Amino acid sequence: MNQLNLLLTERAERRLVLAIMLTLGLWASAFAGIRAALSGYRPAHLALLRLLVASVILLFAAKPMNLRPASIRDVPAFFILGGLGFTAYSYALNIGETSVTAAAASLLVNTVPIFTTLLAWAFFRESLSSWGWLGLSIGFAGATLIALTSNNGFSLNTSALLV
């Protein structure tokens, strides 16, 4: 019985590692994929396509995951949050990537923890140590440097603000 449990645990660990590798691979290639797709699609069309694909995948994943349908009272919140959280993000990212490199876009998108920390500090009175402030400053300086860099030298790339 112990050998069977060990075998099942090893299989589960391998599946978990494969799932993590797949997720990281898809996530890491997303910005290059967006940049490539923008040669054939407009930013709004690409955002719609990405959201439709995700919706279809979620539709098929909902049954095996035993997800129950949403309450009717939650539907307005889903539309508001979906519109702001997914649609606006995808559309702004796609517009930004029309003139920002995929590498710069991926770095700029990953500044979310900086802004999350600042919002938590401002609204929820979260405390930050001096190391925390130093880390925020370094991260923000790096993001600013990326946003101000263009192929022609040092100037504000307004598309970086959309990313």
Read off the pLDDT of residues 56-106 as tens digits, 9 standing for 90 and up: 998 898 888 888 888 899 989 988 988 888 899 899 999 999 988 888 888
DSSP code, position 153: E
| pLDDT of 151 | 58
Give the pLDDT confidence of 16-45 residue by residue, as tens digits.
Answer: 889 999 998 988 888 999 999 999 999 999
The predicted model scores a pTM of 0.74
Give the pLDDT confidence of 109-155 residue by residue, as tens digits.
Answer: 888 889 899 999 999 999 999 999 999 999 888 888 877 775 555 55
Q: Taking phi first (over 0 means left), then psi (-120 to 50 degrees means alpha), and beta for anything else, what does residue 125 get?
A: left
Task: Output the CA torsion 10→13→19→23 (10° steps).
Answer: -150
| pLDDT of 85 | 83
